[in-house]
């Protein structure tokens, strides 16, 4: 299910990054007491009273300037606002309402999206009455807070959550495989979507997805039902969307949350970028099955070692995803495009694979007999019993004497033994430890 999105906006130096860090629960954004320090949106996942949501931090909005960086920030903020379900408009209670606040307010009124005004830096009684002046910006909800001390943030979060859209259940058969193409702008996602659908020629009319404006595309191939989950590649965008690199992240997050299989599209001409690793990391952490799809392979000058060298680069850059297969394709010439859906079907089967308890425990027992767990401070880690508790991704619980004694290298060994026994092609697997009650 796709999570709601909150965008934090405002002029420079009002405390947006401090609020972001408090809500994210960790020091992600750079906090420095000078204007313009946060130049790109930063994303995090947050939670309030059991309700999870995405959080977007943005650079400070400045108007009337022609500076190229400031225009880039403005583009970023506009994109963040478009993706948001609710906007948190941060102001500075010590400064009162400024002309820049009024310009931001005009911009937000045009979006017709719900806005909560946070009057920040109200950590002294002499500034409390100042918050009432901010009602003249024209928004219903104005809340005095101190991001530094946490005062008022609970009321602010209650207000934000009240605006979150209701979850919409997806009306798909449980055997339907939900697939999304994720990756940086201009890697050829749209072309690959068209190549996949055009080759099968079995498109069903688009149906609404879980987000307000997502369009999913259901189709069938060789008796298997698929849904292409809405991504940036499925909707027309203006040029600004193609040029802003960071834009791909929040769309990828929304698609990942609703997918069984993610096709991580990499540009064969441009190679691997940090953004590719970040997006792939989200898919891995979400537990999606994954396939690396290297597009534009027709445009790459090749010899008999080029493909192997590129595979090695992928394995080095994405060491946390050794399970994900790699396909080299060309949406333009249709080279190997016919291999995508059969591979998607195969990794989806492994993603949903359930192992019987007796067979699972036999594999774990054999692994322990071959390589016993090491001792830690004179105590030996013991595994008594294993069971599979979930699929998509396959998740296993090991009942042990003391989870604190488990070393990550031994858990990695157990994961490798499970993969050797059952393959788990294209899917992450999860191993959880639980102390056995004695």
Read off the pLDDT of residues 309-327 as tens digits, 9 standing for 90 and up.
999 999 999 999 999 999 9
Distance in angstroms (rounded) separating the CA atoms of residues 391 and 428: 10
Is residue 33 marked as binding? no
Query: Is 368 a residue whose pLDDT tops 90?
Result: yes
The encoded tokens of residue 266 equal: 């990499």
Kindly report the CATH number that applies to the domain delimited by 177-348.
3.40.50.300
Is residue 260 marked as binding? no
Distance in angstroms (rounded) separating the CA atoms of residues 417 and 285: 21
The per-residue pLDDT for 338 is 93
User: Is residue 172 very low, low, confident or very high in pLDDT (cuts 50, 70, 90)?
Assistant: confident
Is residue 416 marked as binding? no
Is residue 96 marked as binding? no
Q: What is the pLDDT of residues 259-297, one digit of tens each?
A: 999 999 999 999 998 888 888 888 998 899 999 999 999
Is residue 297 marked as binding? yes
Is residue 296 marked as binding? yes
Does 5-162 match 177-348 in CATH topology?
yes
Q: What is the pLDDT of residues 371-422, one digit of tens each?
A: 999 887 778 899 999 999 999 999 999 999 999 888 889 999 999 999 999 9
Is residue 356 marked as binding? no
Per CATH, which fold does 357-435 belong to? GMP Synthetase; Chain A, domain 3 (3.30.300)
> What's the chain's average pLDDT?
82
Is residue 162 marked as binding? no
The per-residue pLDDT for 28 is 44
Least confident of 99-108, 323-332, 349-358: 99-108
At residue 281's C-alpha, the angle toward residues 275 and 287, to 5°, is 150
Is residue 61 marked as binding? yes
Distance in angstroms (rounded) separating the CA atoms of residues 51 and 53: 7
Q: Is 231 exposed, middle or buried (0-12, 13-18, 19+ CB in 10 A)?
A: buried
Kindly report the CATH number that applies to the domain delimited by 5-162.
3.40.50.300
Domain boundaries defined on the chain: 5-162, 177-348, 357-435
Is residue 59 marked as binding? yes
DSSP-derived pairing of the beta strands 141-144 and 115-120:
parallel
């Amino acid at each position: 299910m796709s999570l709601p999105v909150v965008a934090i906006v405002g002029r420079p130096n009002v405390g947006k990054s401090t609020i972001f860090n408090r809500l994210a629960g960790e020091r992600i954004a750079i906090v420095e007491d000078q204007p313009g320090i946060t130049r790109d949106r930063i994303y995090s996942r947050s939670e309030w009273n059991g309700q999870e949501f995405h959080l977007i931090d943005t650079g400070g909005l400045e108007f009337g300037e022609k500076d190229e960086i400031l225009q880039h920030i403005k583009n970023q903020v506009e994109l963040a606002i478009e993706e948001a379900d609710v906007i948190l408009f941060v102001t500075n209670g010590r400064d009162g309402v400024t002309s820049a606040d009024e310009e931001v307010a005009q911009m937000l009124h045009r979006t017709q999206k719900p806005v909560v005004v946070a009057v920040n830096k109200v950590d002294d009684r002499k500034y409390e009455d100042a918050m009432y002046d901010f009602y003249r910006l024209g928004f219903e909800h104005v809340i005095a807070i101190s991001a530094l001390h946490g005062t008022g943030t609970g009321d602010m979060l209650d207000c934000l959550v009240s605006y979150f859209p209701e979850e919409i259940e997806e009306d798909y058969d449980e055997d339907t495989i939900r697939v999304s193409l994720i990756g940086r702008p201009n890697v050829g996602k749209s072309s690959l979507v068209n190549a996949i659908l055009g080759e099968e020629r079995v498109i069903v009319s688009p149906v609404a997805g879980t987000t307000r404006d997502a369009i999913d595309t259901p189709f069938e191939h060789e008796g298997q039902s698929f849904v292409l989950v809405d991504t940036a590649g499925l909707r027309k965008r203006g040029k600004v969307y193609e040029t802003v690199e960071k834009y791909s992240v929040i769309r990828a997050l929304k698609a990942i949350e609703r997918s069984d299989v993610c096709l991580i599209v990499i540009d064969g001409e441009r190679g691997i970028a940090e953004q590719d690793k970040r997006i792939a990391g989200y898919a891995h952490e979400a537990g999606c099955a994954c396939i690396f799809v290297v597009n534009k392979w027709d445009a790459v000058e090749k010899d008999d070692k080029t493909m192997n060298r590129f595979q090695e680069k992928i394995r080095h850059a994405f060491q946390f995803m050794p399970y994900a297969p790699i396909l080299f394709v060309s949406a333009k010439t249709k080279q190997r495009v016919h291999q995508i859906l059969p591979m998607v079907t195969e990794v989806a089967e492994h993603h949903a694979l359930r192992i019987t308890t007796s067979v699972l425990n036999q594999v774990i027992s054999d692994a322990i007999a071959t390589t016993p767990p090491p001792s830690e401070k004179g105590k030996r880690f013991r595994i008594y019993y294993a069971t599979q508790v979930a699929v998509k991704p396959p998740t296993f619980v090991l009942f042990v004497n003391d989870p604190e004694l488990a070393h990550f290298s031994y858990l990695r060994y157990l994961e490798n033994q499970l993969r050797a026994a059952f393959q788990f092609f294209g899917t992450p697997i999860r191993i959880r430890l639980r102390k056995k009650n004695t």
